[in-house]
Copies of this chain bind each other. A is one copy, B any other.
Amino acid sequence: MPPTSGPFAVLPEPPYYVVTFASERTDGDNGYGAMAEAMVDLARRQPGFLGVESARGADGFGITNSFWQSEEHIRAWKRVVDHLTAQQRGRRDWYRHYAVRIGVIQRAYDFSQESP
């Protein structure tokens, strides 16, 4: 598991894979908060996991980008999520709508005010 830098994922040089999960929450918690936290903890322990970044506004719309070593690692993670959400509360209880896009990151750069 890579070191974390506040809300930012610390990632290797590209290429690596991304899952962007955009979602609009339903009203009420319905066990979402606890499950979301457990999901992130579980993702961090998955093979091929590189990092995750997440933001949700007061309007209930959120984006989570998770980063992975390969598409096979992403497929394995999806099987874990599908299994868990079939056992417990489903994503369909938590989200009005969600959109998932999967791809490969080819280049990256960043900026920090703390940089020398």
**Which A residues fall within an 8 A CB radius of B?**
2, 6-9, 11, 14-15, 18, 20, 22, 24, 26, 53-59, 61-63, 65, 91-92, 95-114
Contact of A101 among B18, B91, B96 (CB under 8 A): B18
In the A-B complex, the 9 residue pairs with the smallest Cβ-Cβ separation, listed nearest first, are A103-B105, A99-B110, A7-B61, A63-B63, A101-B108, A55-B55, A97-B112, A101-B105, A55-B63
**C-alpha spacing A58/B60, complex, angstroms:** 12
Whether the Cβ atoms of B101 and A103 lie closer than 8 Å is: no
Kindly provide the distance from the CB of A88 to the nearest chain B CB, expressed in whole angstroms. 17
**Are the C-beta atoms of A106 and B112 separated by less than 8 Å?**
no
Partner of A53, one of B7, B18, B63, B95: B63
